[in-house]
Amino acid sequence: MAQVSMQLVKELRDRTQAGLNDCRSALMESEGDMDKAVEIILKKGLAKSAKRAGAVASEGEVADHVAADGSFGVLVEVNIQTDFAARNEEFKAFVQNVVKAAASARAGAELGAEPYPAGGGTVEEARQALVGKLGENITVRRWARLDATSPGLVHSYVHLGGKIGVLLAVKLGKAELAGSEALRKFVDDVAMQAAAMAPAFLHASEVPADESKKQADIFDAQLAEEGKPDAVRPKIIEGKLAKWKKEICLLEQQSVVETDKTVDQLRAELAKSLGAEISIEQFVRFERGEGIEKPEGPDFAAEVAKMASSN
């Protein structure tokens, strides 16, 4: 079996929260293949779920802008090294100018190459200048733009001072529905739902077949570990997959507002009461620092020392 580095062991532990010895064994069994090692951990029932690689928060801000008429909206994530620097007024001003640049850019554009609204060249040139001034690395990490289908609107929600941001595009059967208080409340509730419950997809039909197959294999291996007979496992897996899809798809999730109904059921009820179709077409969710790995801390070092002393 291949030898593995402690950095790989740490990464696997961060993703699965399994024990260090279990992580090391899984990596040796997978010959250092991280994705296979995650599956080994899950299949052995050593972790119920796995985080995406390095899903440790970094500092900075998620910020938004929606056009006054609701025709489009943008969401950006700008990162900086420390929480102290993230509160700096110059950094905050930079974030708002990046949002303005995004609002003027076409979808998919390289934001760093866009003109910086406060002058002084491009967004990237302004970033470099601020890095030199504040002494911390800054990255304009990602951005997204949603355009409403007419008639329709884009709505945004930013949670916890810029920790999580959501954009939601809604299509309406009648243009006049955009002024409905009931619609506005529903859209805001759905955006907050997406922020709180972190769905990966809008509805079950969007879940890729290979992801469903991989999850089914994980459930099958877990059931085998529990000693469930081969004959009964397919039916159990079918039920587990259905539940899993409800958890990861926004429209199928149980509403956090009315917990006895799904988001889609509430959408259908509102459409009926307003007398026109309402459909959620797209959503984007950014969580600050998602997928960014910070340097290992003392807890990990202590665990490594403990593991080494036991060998």
pLDDT along the chain (311 residues), means of 10: 78 80 89 86 69 52 97 96 90 97 96 93 93 85 96 96 96 94 97 96 94 94 92 94 95 96 98 97 95 59 58 55
Residue 70's domain comprises 57-147
Query: Would you state the pLDDT for residue 6?
Result: 85
Distances in whole angstroms, Cα of residue 96 to Cα of each of 59, 123, 128, 131, 182: 16, 11, 16, 16, 30
Query: Would you state the pLDDT for residue 298?
Result: 47
Q: DSSP alpha helices (H): ranges in 105-150?
A: 123-134
| CATH number of the domain that residue 8 is part of | 1.10.8.10
Distances in whole angstroms, Cα of residue 4 to Cα of each of 28, 68, 292: 7, 54, 22
Q: Which residues pair with 77 in a beta bridge?
A: 62, 142
Query: Would you state the pLDDT for residue 121?
Result: 94
C-alpha to C-alpha distance for 13 and 19, rounded to whole angstroms:
7
C-alpha to C-alpha distance for 117 and 27, rounded to whole angstroms:
48
For residues 26 and 70, state if they share a domain: no
Asked if residue 184 is part of any domain, the answer here is: no
For residues 80 and 142, state if they share a domain: yes
Query: Would you state the pLDDT for residue 218?
Result: 94
For residues 32 and 61, state if they share a domain: no
| CATH number of the domain that residue 130 is part of | 3.30.479.20
Asked if residue 270 is part of any domain, the answer here is: no
For residues 25 and 63, state if they share a domain: no
The token duo for 311 is 């060998």
Q: Name the phi and psi angles at 60, rounded to 5.
A: 130, -145
Q: Name the phi and psi angles at 215, rounded to 5.
A: -65, -40
Determine contact, residues 202/280, Cβ cutoff 8 Å.
yes
Asked if residue 120 is part of any domain, the answer here is: yes
Select from 147, 162, 190 the last residue of a domain: 147
